[in-house]
């Protein structure tokens, strides 16, 4: 039970609005008991990024797992996007076994051949006369989940009580809503397995304290000096805004459609619970998505989108991202070993770690609410 584990009492914030120490302890990063609890308490209760809607043309189905559940993301023949549990309501067989994206006219269950259209309606039942007279096909449609898009990117949510996606995303649509244009396309996608807990990597990506030190010659060159950092903490997302440097301006052109702050700086958003979105004035959008694998490993996925006319060549972009991501992987794996040593208690909080605390508070609250409901 959660309550018997180390959910430390939240510490009252100080004059900076920050707690004295990190809220999450080494146990939260190393004890496997948290993995199923986090699936229920965190991932099944919020919006989860699943990728670009353009990956699915009408009549295509994407079989995959989201938060440990088998799902089918479908674009029907009218272009409507939907998501269903990949589960037959008759006897729970998985409908579409091969993971991945497939062209598909209809979904046929491999067990007793119930047939579903791409809107999830049950349209065919072998030996239907052998069911009781009360049997109605409309009572056995596929069970759907919420799917909403922002700027063409799809998010899925298991929880009917979560706010609409646009509300969840806070100021992101306002600041990055014009970055994607008709010419935007996927530039690169790459996955990395990292030997650290997913929250450890998320903390690192939210950390504005290490950039000038650990990424001195890489990311720090783009983000510029700490004195120009501007932070914004919202309900579910937080922002580090850094004005473009003279070097960046000399080497890049700004997307002409952008206005105001969107033209003038880099937006580095942290998004609850495991997502990051970077938006640059050349129109580049970079998603970093961190999936738990085991308690001590995670998969980090990098998806880059932009207009090739305005963004650097893909090889250059990937090399730039990988340069600082490799630095982070070394650090997060080192921190993971420290957490596992049994010798660590959380240290004090620097003001440049406020975005970590913002997300740890949300994680804390979700675990505590789950524990109370238990």
Give the interface with ligand FES as residue ranges (CB under 6 A). Answer: 88, 90-91, 93, 109, 111-112, 114
Secondary structure E strands in 185-341 = 185-194, 230-233, 237-243, 265-271, 275-279, 285-294, 297-306
**C-beta of 130 vs 161, nearer to ligand FES:** 130
Q: How far is the CB of 179 from Fe ion (least distance, A)?
A: 22
Question: Residue 124 and residue 128: Cα distance in Å, rounded?
Answer: 9
Q: How far is the CB of 191 from Fe ion (least distance, A)?
A: 18
Q: How far is the CB of 88 from ligand FES (least distance, A)?
A: 3
Interacting residues with Fe ion between 73 and 112 (CB under 5 A): none
**C-beta of 291 vs 328, nearer to Fe ion:** 328
Interacting residues with Fe ion between 139 and 178 (CB under 5 A): none
**C-beta of 59 vs 89, nearer to ligand FES:** 89
Q: Which of ligand FES, Fe ion, none lies near 35, with the C-beta cut-off 5 to 8 A by kind?
A: none
Q: Which of ligand FES, Fe ion, none lies near 52, with the C-beta cut-off 5 to 8 A by kind?
A: none
Query: Which tokens go with 354?
Result: 């406020």
Q: How far is the CB of 63 from ligand FES (least distance, A)?
A: 15
Are the C-beta atoms of residues 280 and 150 closer than 8 Å to each other?
A: no
Q: Coil, strand, or helix at residue 231?
A: strand
Check binding of 296 to Fe ion (CB under 5 A).
no
Q: Give the CA distances from residue 150 to residues 18, 167, 256, in Å, rounded to whole numbers and listed in that order.
A: 31, 11, 21
* Residue 144, H or E segment: strand 144-150
Q: How far is the CB of 125 from ligand FES (least distance, A)?
A: 8
Closest CA to 48 of 162, 161, 177: 162
Question: Residue 233 and residue 286: Cα distance in Å, rounded?
Answer: 20
* Residue 136 CB coordination number (10 Å): 9
Question: Residue 349 and residue 352: Cα distance in Å, rounded?
Answer: 8
Q: Where does this chain touch Fe ion (CB under 5 A) — which range of 221-229, 279-287, 324-332, 358-366? A: 324-332
Check binding of 328 to Fe ion (CB under 5 A).
yes
Q: How far is the CB of 93 from ligand FES (least distance, A)?
A: 4
Query: Which tokens go with 227?
Result: 């004195």
Q: Which of ligand FES, Fe ion, none lies near 112, with the C-beta cut-off 5 to 8 A by kind?
A: ligand FES
Contacts of 231 (CB under 8 A, 6+ apart): 208, 238, 239, 240, 241, 354, 355
Residues 259, 155, 267: CA angle, nearest 5 degrees: 30
**C-beta of 52 vs 328, nearer to Fe ion:** 328
Q: Where does this chain touch Fe ion (CB under 5 A) — which range of 66-74, 76-84, 325-333, 334-342? A: 325-333
Q: How far is the CB of 85 from ligand FES (least distance, A)?
A: 13
Task: Write the DSSP symbol of residue 194.
Answer: E
Q: Which of ligand FES, Fe ion, none lies near 263, with the C-beta cut-off 5 to 8 A by kind?
A: none
Question: Residue 11 and residue 349: Cα distance in Å, rounded?
Answer: 12
Q: Coil, strand, or helix at residue 361?
A: helix
Q: Where does this chain touch Fe ion (CB under 5 A) — which range of 23-31, 172-180, 299-307, 323-331? A: 323-331
Instruction: Tell me how many residues contact Fe ion (CB under 5 A).
Output: 1
Q: Which of Fe ion, ligand FES, none lies near 91, with the C-beta cut-off 5 to 8 A by kind?
A: ligand FES
Q: Footprint of Fe ion on this chain (CB under 5 A)?
A: 328
């Amino acid at each position: 039970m959660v309550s018997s584990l180390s959910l430390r009492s939240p510490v009252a914030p100080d004059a900076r609005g920050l707690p004295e120490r990190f809220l999450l302890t080494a146990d939260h990063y190393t004890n496997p008991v948290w993995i199923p609890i986090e699936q229920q308490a965190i991932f099944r209760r919020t919006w989860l990024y699943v990728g670009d809607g353009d990956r699915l043309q009408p009549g295509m189905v994407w079989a995959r797992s989201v938060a440990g559940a088998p799902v089918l993301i479908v674009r029907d023949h009218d272009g409507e996007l939907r998501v269903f549990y990949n589960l037959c309501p008759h006897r729970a067989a998985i409908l579409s076994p091969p993971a991945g994206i497939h062209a598909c006219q209809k979904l046929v269950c491999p067990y007793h051949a119930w047939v579903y259209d791409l809107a999830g309606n049950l349209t065919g039942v072998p030996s239907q006369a052998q069911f009781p007279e009360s049997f109605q096909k409309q009572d056995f449609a596929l069970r759907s989940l919420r799917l909403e898009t922002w700027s063409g990117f799809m998010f899925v949510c298991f929880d009917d009580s979560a706010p609409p996606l646009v509300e969840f995303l806070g100021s992101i649509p306002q600041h990055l809503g014009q970055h994607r244009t008709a010419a935007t396309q996927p530039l690169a996608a790459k996955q990395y397995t990292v030997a650290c807990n997913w929250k450890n990597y998320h903390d690192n990506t939210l950390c504005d304290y290490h950039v000038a030190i650990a990424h001195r010659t890489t990311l720090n060159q783009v983000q510029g000096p700490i004195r120009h950092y501007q932070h914004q903490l919202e309900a579910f997302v937080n922002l580090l805004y850094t004005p473009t440097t003279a070097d960046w301006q000399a080497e890049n052109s700004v997307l002409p459609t952008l206005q105001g702050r969107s033209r003038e700086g880099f937006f580095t958003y942290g998004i609850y619970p495991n997502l990051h979105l970077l938006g640059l004035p050349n129109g580049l959008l970079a998603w970093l998505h961190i999936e738990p694998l085991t308690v001590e490993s995670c998969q980090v996925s990098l998806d880059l989108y932009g207009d090739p006319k305005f963004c650097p060549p893909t090889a250059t972009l990937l090399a730039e991202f990988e340069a600082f991501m490799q630095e982070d992987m070394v650090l997060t794996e080192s921190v993971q070993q420290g957490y596992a040593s049994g010798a660590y208690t959380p240290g004090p909080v620097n003001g440049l770690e406020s975005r970590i605390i913002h997300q740890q508070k949300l994680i804390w609250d979700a675990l505590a609410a789950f524990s109370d409901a238990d």
